[in-house]
Amino acid sequence: MSEPATVDTPLKKLVGEKTAKALAGHLDLHTAGDLVYHFPRRYDERGEHTDIRSLDVGEQVTVLAQVQRTAVRPMRQRRGNLLEVTVGDGSGGLLTLTFFGNQAWRERELRPGRWGLFAGKVTEFRGKRQLNGPEYVLLGDGGDGEAAVSDDIEEFAGALIPVYPAAAAVPTWVIARCVRVVLDTFTPPDDPLPADVRASRKLVGLGTALTEIHRPSSKEALYRARRRLKWDEAFAVQLTLVQRKHRAADWPARPRPARSGGLLEAFDARLPYELTAGQRDVGVEIAADLAAPHPMHRLLQGEVGSGKTVVALRAMLQVVDAGGQAALLAPTEVLAAQHHRGMLDLLGPLGSAGERGFRPSTPPGSSWSPARWARRPAAGRSVRWPAARPASCSAPTPCSTRASTSPTSVWSSSTSSTASAWSSATRCGPRRTNRRTCW
């Protein structure tokens, strides 16, 4: 009696070293657990067809089809015969299987009416789709009522035929045969879900699910197996997120508690509408998260137009009130510009400080002017730095070249001082030689 297999049992002990090497090299399957969790990607049903007309040239496929006719003709360029077998899907789609050499035994085997799984790479010759020298396995005699399935294709005895993610060197029936060998001796792992949880969720046991997903006894059993395994995947994702959240609770962060009389209160007072109950409730939760001594780990979900941006802006103002900085990230430039305009409108006078309405003045000794600035693209403007500093400037301290009533613009021959002072007034890209891009 063979030793029971577990999820950690190497495949070479179960299916042989040659097959195990092929499974590892082509599909990265090394243990019994790897193979058992290599689920079929679809199921073909006896008597139903695979849509041959939907196959793409160059695609590696496995099709369930019925032999329509065979023909043998001599090859023109060399000695020997060519066997052409035409198989169909029952809806008019035809596929030609081509075998080279004298293979009378194959002609006798591939009799019209027999069903089989045929695997290979789709090619096209004279406008016809074909498989050259495909691998195949026949599913039954197809005509005289004899016992339909032989020992080597017992894994396809059911009405639902599993089709696995496969490779050219490891077709689906080789995988199915290996799965059958493993399942015959496989001891499933302990079910992590308690019996009361399975009962309340109407889930089958893990061992039953792993067996039925590979060898379904009915469509209903297959549905129950899929449902249990999908539930496990979703539960694993949720568990990972909860664990990550608990780990994040141990990370240090500076608390940003709400401050009375700050920007947030002023913003709420000037809002032209009342916050919804949902916005207020979420705002209270986010405020508590920001006041905690660890990073916030929260995802806010809502329909389009439900007011998520206002909630985010209120959280940002709380951080600013507490002496911090906040940034709003957007996935596209267009969306970022929309948020920028919308938030400035909401902030009103509260957002007028800093860069709002800023335009740099004309640098001394330069032909550049604000009028030329206005004609340049809004996304970025190239500014040439003067060759010499103004006489009134003493390097390395930057200074203003305009009256105090004008927007501050600094010019200095000191690279570090100039870059620092200029960046404080505008948003600039990295300096390249004597040019810099600002917007």
Q: Which of the two residues, 324 and 355, has the higher pLDDT score?
A: 324
Chain mean pLDDT for the chain:
76
Q: Which of the two residues, 395 and 17, has the higher pLDDT score?
A: 17
- Residue 353 pLDDT: 61
- Residue 27 pLDDT: 92
User: pLDDT tens digits for 370-399?
Assistant: 444 344 444 444 444 444 444 444 334 333
User: At 186, which amino acid appears?
Assistant: F
The rounded distance, in Å, linking the Cα atoms of 226 and 229 is: 5
- Residue 285 pLDDT: 94
Per-residue tokens: 133:
């020298």
The rounded distance, in Å, linking the Cα atoms of 229 and 223 is: 10
**In what helix (H) or strand (E) does residue 66 lie, and over which residues does it extend?**
strand 60-74
Q: Which of the two residues, 406 and 234, has the higher pLDDT score?
A: 234
User: pLDDT tens digits for 275-308?
Assistant: 999 999 999 999 999 999 988 888 888 888 888 9
Q: Distances in Å between the alpha carbon of 407 and those of 348, 355, 361, 425, 426? A: 20, 10, 7, 9, 11
- Residue 297 pLDDT: 80
The rounded distance, in Å, linking the Cα atoms of 307 and 282 is: 11
What's the rounded mean pLDDT across residues 75-92?
81
**In what helix (H) or strand (E) does residue 381 lie, and over which residues does it extend?**
strand 381-384
What's the rounded mean pLDDT across residues 327-354?
86
What's the rounded mean pLDDT across residues 301-322?
91
- pLDDT higher than 70, residue 75: yes
- Residue 344 pLDDT: 87
What's the rounded mean pLDDT across residues 402-416?
32
Half-sphere exposure of 240 (CA within 13 A, CB side): 6
Peptide bond into 396 cis (omega under 30): yes
What does the DSSP assignment read for 92-123? S-EEEEEEES--HHHHHHS-TT-EEEEEEEEE
| Residue burial 54-82, b: 16+ Cβ < 10 Å; e: rest | ebeeeeebbbbbbbeebeeeeeeeeeeeb
User: pLDDT tens digits for 230-282?
Assistant: 999 999 999 998 898 888 888 888 999 999 888 999 999 888 889 999 999 99
Question: Which residues are within 8 A (CB) of 21 and not within 5 positions of it... i.e. 6 or more apart?
Answer: 12
- pLDDT higher than 60, residue 87: yes
Q: Which of the two residues, 84 and 358, has the higher pLDDT score?
A: 84
What's the rounded mean pLDDT across residues 88-101?
83
What's the rounded mean pLDDT across residues 422-439?
42
**For 146, phi and psi rounded to 5 degrees?**
-70, 170
**In what helix (H) or strand (E) does residue 197 lie, and over which residues does it extend?**
helix 195-201
Per-residue tokens: 51:
């849509």
- Residue 55 pLDDT: 83
The rounded distance, in Å, linking the Cα atoms of 405 and 135 is: 85
Number of other CB atoms surrounding residue 335 within 10 Å: 11
Q: Which of the two residues, 389 and 94, has the higher pLDDT score?
A: 94
| Domains of the chain by residue range | 42-163, 263-349, 370-438
- Residue 20 pLDDT: 92
What's the rounded mean pLDDT across residues 9-38?
93
What's the rounded mean pLDDT across residues 322-335?
91
- pLDDT higher than 70, residue 213: yes
Helices assigned H by DSSP within 348-390:
370-375
The rounded distance, in Å, linking the Cα atoms of 300 and 277 is: 15
- Residue 305 pLDDT: 84
Given this structure, which CATH class describes domain 42-163?
A: mainly beta
User: pLDDT tens digits for 339-348?
Assistant: 989 888 888 8
**What pLDDT band is residue 427 in, cutting at 50, 70 and 90?**
very low
- Asked if 327 and 318 touch (Cβ cutoff 8 Å), the reply is no
Question: Could you say which DSSP state residue 5 is in?
Answer: B
Helices assigned H by DSSP within 202-349:
206-214, 219-248, 263-270, 277-291, 308-321, 333-347
- Residue 294 pLDDT: 87
- pLDDT higher than 80, residue 136: yes
Half-sphere exposure of 125 (CA within 13 A, CB side): 11
Q: Which of the two residues, 247 and 46, has the higher pLDDT score?
A: 247
Q: Which of the two residues, 1 and 37, has the higher pLDDT score?
A: 37
**What pLDDT band is residue 145 in, cutting at 50, 70 and 90?**
very low
Highest average pLDDT, of 38-47, 194-203, 352-361, comes from 194-203
